[in-house]
Amino acid sequence: MTDAPAPAAAARNPKVGVVLANLGTPDATDYWSMRRYLNEFLSDPRVIELPRWKWQPILQLIILSKRPKSSGANYDKIWNREENASPLLVITRAQTAAVAAALAERHGDRVMVDFAMRYGNPSTASVIERMAAAGCERIAFFPLYPQYSAPTTATANDEAFRALMTLRRQPAFRTVPDYHDHPLYIAALAASVEDAYAGLGRRPDVLVTSYHGMPERYRDAGDPYFHQCLTTTRLLRERLGFPESEVVVAFQSRFGREEWVKPYTVDEVARLAQAGKRHIAVMAPAFSADCVETLEEVEGEIREAFVAAGGESFAYVPCLNAAPAHVEMMVAILEHELGGWL
| pLDDT digits 0-9 by tens, 324-335 | 999 999 999 999
Q: Cite the beta strand spans of the chain per DSSP E.
A: 15-25, 111-120, 136-143, 172-175, 206-212, 247-252, 279-283, 313-317
Q: Do domains 11-179+324-337 and 183-317 have the same CATH topology?
A: yes
| Average pLDDT over every residue of 79-88 | 97
**Confidence check: pLDDT of 342 > 90:** no
Q: Provide CB contacts within 8 A for 216, sequence distance 6+.
A: 258, 259, 260, 261
> Between 155-165 and 124-133, two packed helices, what is the crossing angle to 10 degrees?
50
Indicate the pTM of the whole model: 0.93
pLDDT digit string (tens) for 300-309? 999 999 999 9
Percent of the chain with pLDDT over 90: 95
Q: What confidence score (pLDDT) does residue 257 get?
A: 85
Architecture of domain 183-317: 3-Layer(aba) Sandwich (3.40)
Report whether 3 contacts 98 (CB < 8 A).
no
Q: What confidence score (pLDDT) does residue 9 get?
A: 42
Average pLDDT in the chain: 95
Q: Output b/e per residue, 106-128; b: 16+ Cβ within 10 A.
A: eeeeebbbbbbbbbbeebbbebb
User: Where are the chain's structural domains?
Assistant: 11-179+324-337, 183-317
**11-179+324-337: what CATH class?**
alpha beta
H/E run at residue 306: helix 303-308
Q: What confidence score (pLDDT) does residue 263 get?
A: 97
Selection from 236, 211, 237 nearest residue 224 by Cα: 211
Selection from 295, 298, 268 nearest residue 282 by Cα: 298
What stretches of 18-154 show up as alpha helix (H) in DSSP? 31-42, 52-58, 64-78, 87-107, 124-133
| Average pLDDT over every residue of 200-213 | 97
**Confidence check: pLDDT of 11 > 70:** no
Report whether 106 contacts 113 (CB < 8 A).
no
Question: CA-CA distance, 277 to 270, in Å (whole number)?
Answer: 9
pLDDT digit string (tens) for 162-180? 999 999 999 999 999 999 9
Residue 2: pLDDT band with limits 50, 70, 90: very low
Report whether 68 contacts 31 (CB < 8 A).
yes
